[in-house]
Structure 1
Amino acid sequence: MPRFAANLSMMFNEVDFLDRFDAAAKAGFTAVEYLFPYDFPAEMVAEQLRNAGLSQALFNLPPGDWAKGERGLAALPERRDEFRQSVAKAVDYGQIIGTPLLHMMAGIAPHDDPATIASYRDSVSFAADAAGVAGIGLVLEPINSRDMPGYFLNDFNRAADLMADLSHPNIKLQFDIYHRQIIHGDVLVALEQMMPIIGHVQIASVPKRHEPGTGELDDYRIFAALDALGYQGYVGCEYRPAGGTLEGLDWLDKV
């Protein structure tokens, strides 16, 4: 059975963010992930995590101005200095909170423009080096263009090719099953082929991004495949509950 991490940005929204740690632990989770911790001091987040007896799976680097639609800075050459400052902030938070992984969002930018390609490659190497010094891994996640139009990294094969080209031991693939199905399909074959480079997995049903088992995929077969492939990391539950969070957790009893 995979190890599941509750995504506190999407789940347990019935309570304030800092109260979601305890709520997740009481619901039976042993680990959590979320988009961003930066609205709170890192020490405060670490205390909530510790008091709830939870492990941290990962969180994201600062994305720029999220409210204005920014989704990362890595592929934006004109934001290079701001990006590097965001890396330092994320690594500092990561060390205090104790995360093994940081996810670096690419940003809204053309994926075929030489300037954005060069910026992204430079950003990946810079962030991986900075995180590596702190003993933290860096993961890259392709995101589908339906949910996030114009997102720079919207192809799993391109992500894998970049990782192979850079050959940086600190960089892994964040394999989101929801995004994979929408972009390419062929989830089980891709998991088998890409397992050596996968550092984190996330799950949500397709197409409505609700609880596993409520969409077009056989999510339980996917969980069994992860076990068979020897996946040892967490599976982040990055889904939007169709109703109340607790009422929707009966899917866990079927795994």
Structure 2
Amino acid sequence: MHRFDVNLSILFTELPLLERPAAAAAAGFTEVELWWPWPHTPTPPEDELAALRGALERAGTRLVALNLYAGRLPGPDRGALSVPGEESERFRANVAVAADFARSLGCRALNALYGNRVDGVPAEEQDALALANLAHAARAADRVGAVLLIEALNAVESPRYPLGDAASAVAVVEKVDAATGLGNARLLMDLYHLAMAGEDLPAVVDRYAAVTGHVQIADVPGRGAPGTGGLDLPGLLGRLRRAGYAGPVGLEYRAAGGTSADAFGWLAEY
């Protein structure tokens, strides 16, 4: 049976951030994940970090995955680490802060969104910067006992993001591992994005389950809860389990009508 965690950056957003862990616990979840909660700054004040840490601990919810600083997300950005100049520097500044925050909560997965292509900058230059920053992040993750996740995003919604399918994300995973020798880079297998990209999901599961460090789900189309679209998510999750994936499955979908507490009826079958 899979463990499900709830993404508090897309669900329970009708509540202030510090109230979401308790709401997730009331809905029956013991594990949660987050996008970087401070898109305006990679290095928030310690009291803000402490407040979120306290909210998670009081609710009895364990943080299982955390995005590194990714620019304005939600918003137009899709990561910062491949973007030359200030954004790349902000990503670098965030790595130690996010890694320490993860360590303080026992979080074992840090997600590094690659970043959009920038006009006027050769792709090769962005890719070289990305590899250097990802290697830096992988070393920081290793120091706190975490894996570094690399995610593909679909081109329909993120046309300037260069990792548009599982194979391109895994190729970056392999480059990071080769650069560091640590072997702690992993694929974040987001079944929603891969389905939107037109991937053969059973084949993706079979091919890449062994290099997957985290899984996220939403139905297609619409990014709603399982059962609201056409994906055979029960079948895919069963296939993942049989392929050896035993980690958490992040619920990264939108609640119909914006009421998150009522968005989990489909879980009864699990």
Q: Does TM, scored on the shorter chain, surpass 0.5?
A: yes
Q: Distance in 1 between matches of 2:122 and 2:197?
A: 17
Deviation of 1:2 after TM superposition, in Å, equals 0.8
Cα distance change of structure 1 residues 67 and 190 upon mapping to structure 2, 3 Å threshold: closer
User: Structure 1's 157 and 229: CA in aligned 2 closer, same or farther, altered over 3 A?
Assistant: same
Report the TM-score, using the length of structure 2 for normalisation. Answer: 0.88
Looking at structure 2, the residues matched to 45 and 67 of structure 1 have their Cα atoms a distance apart, in angstroms, of 19
Work out the number of aligned pairs and report it. Answer: 255
1:230 and 1:34 map into 2 onto residues whose CA distance is: 25
Separation (CA, whole Å) in 2 of partners of 1:134 and 1:169: 14
Contact persistence 1:33–1:56 (CA under 8 A): yes
- Read off the aligned partner of 1:131 and give its amino acid letter: A
| Deviating more after overlay: 38-47 vs 166-175 | 38-47
Pair 218,66 (structure 1): closer, same or farther in 2 beyond 3 Å: closer
* Amino acid aligned to 1:76: V
Partner of 1:138: 148
1:68 offset after TM fit, Å?
Answer: 6.5
Structure 2 counterpart of 1:124, from 122, 134, 144? 134
Q: Residue by residue, what CA displacement relative to the aligned partner does 1:22-41 show, whole Å, maximum 9, x if unpaired?
A: 11111111100121233672
The alignment partner of 2:127 has SS state of: helix
Deviation at 1:155, TM superposition (A): 2.5
**Shift of the alpha carbon at 1:67?**
7.1
Give the whole-Å Cα distance in 1 for the aligned partners of 2:110 and 2:220.
25
Q: Residue in 2 aligned with 1:63?
A: 70
**1:47-126 correspondence runs (5 A):** 47-66=54-73, 69-79=76-86, 80-109=88-117, 113-126=123-136
Secondary structure in 1 aligned to 2:64?
strand
Contact in 2 for aligned 1:30/1:55 (Cα 8 Å) = yes
CA distance in 2, matches of 1:68, 1:239: 16
1:196-215 aligned at under 5 Å gives the runs 196-215=210-229
Output the amino acid matched with 1:177.
L
Q: CA RMSD in A?
A: 2.0
**1:143–1:179: 8 Å Cα contact kept in structure 2?**
yes
Within 5 Å, which residues of 2 pair with 1:132-211? 132-167=142-177, 168-211=182-225
Alpha carbons of 1:249 and 1:197: their partners in 2 closer, same or farther (altered >3 Å)? same
Question: Matched residues in 2 for 1:57 and 1:211: separation?
Answer: 20
Work out the CA distance in 1 between the residues paired with 2:7 and 2:176. 30
% identical aligned pairs: 34
- 1:82-113 per-residue CA deviation (whole Å, 9 max, x = no partner) reads 32112122112222333111111111116971
More displaced, 35-44 or 8-17? 35-44
Q: Does 1:33 align with 2:33?
A: yes
Change (3 A) 1:68 1:2: closer
